[in-house]
Amino acid sequence: MTDAKPLIAVIGGTGNQGSGLATRWAKAGYSVIIGSRDSSKAEQVATEITTMAPAGNNWGNVRGTDNLSAATECEIAVLAVPYSNQLDTLKPIANALKGKILIDATAPVQPPKVSTVQLPEGGSAVVAAQELVGEKVTVIAAFQNIAAQHLADLDHDIDCDVLVCGNKKADREMAIQLANDAGMTAWHAGPLANAAAAEAMTSVLIFINRAHKIPGSGIRITGTPEEAND
């Protein structure tokens, strides 16, 4: 990653997960576009994030617009919408994403059995996204297992790790850098097909939250790496 920070669009940035990620990247100095089907709502959330910055801050610029405009203007897009809206959100912006990285945080959590693993036909929601947008868009899976309340609390360390899946190591590295800059530890977790494991883990964590009264459980990778491997 170069010294110049890429312009990030958070598609679905008005939701809890999207706005949390956007706020953390703004705090880290990234310029962020909040994308939404409702541009006025995106503008409102962008204003709310901007007003959170302390006086004399070096936060990045945050603004809001519609999803298509956000996808067109950005260098990196992050999809943070419910599973039920994932593909419908991607279809109208797929052409605008060509030549770019799309980081997809979708987990196939399906009410009412959100604590039961229900992977889609084909095995992975993020793989389905790659099939929809085509090979000219690089899709990376990340952030499936980070609870929104952790993202929103800027004053505490996020005590869980991020699994990053993608078919090329260099592209995964971009998502890992963004995770690190947002205050998280991220790990290369293999090709995009491996995203199914992170997607399934979301329902497992929801079950653990309920069974053990944990406000946002997560995963942690143990051990000390000696060198980076594919």
Which residue segments constitute the domains of the chain, with CATH numbers given? 8-212 (3.40.50.720)
Q: Residue 70: which H helix or E strand, with range?
A: helix 67-73
CA atoms of 77 and 73, how far apart (whole Å): 10
168-183 pLDDT per residue, tens? 999 999 999 999 999 9
Residue 230: what pLDDT?
A: 55
Residue ranges, the chain, pLDDT below 70 = 1-3, 227-230
Residue 3: what pLDDT?
A: 64
Calculate the CA 18 to chain-centre distance. 7
CA separation, residue 135 to residues 24, 100, 102 (Å): 30, 11, 12
Q: How many other CB atoms are found less than 10 A from the CB of residue 60?
A: 20
- Would you say how long the chain is, in residues? 230
The reply to whether the predicted model has a pTM over 0.85 is: yes
CA atoms of 101 and 113, how far apart (whole Å): 32
CA atoms of 17 and 21, how far apart (whole Å): 6
Residue 229: what pLDDT?
A: 55
Token duo for residue 171: 């592209």
CA atoms of 102 and 140, how far apart (whole Å): 6
Residue 140: what are its φ and ψ, rounded to 5°?
Answer: -120, 140
CA atoms of 204 and 180, how far apart (whole Å): 24
Give yes or no for a contact between 172 and 164, defined as CB atoms under 8 angstroms apart.
Answer: yes
Task: Specify which residues 139 forms β-bridges with.
Answer: 102
Q: Which residues of 67-95 are buried (b: 16+ CB within 10 A; e: fewer)?
A: bbbbbbebebbbbbbbbeebbebbeebbe
Task: Specify which residues 65 forms β-bridges with.
Answer: 35
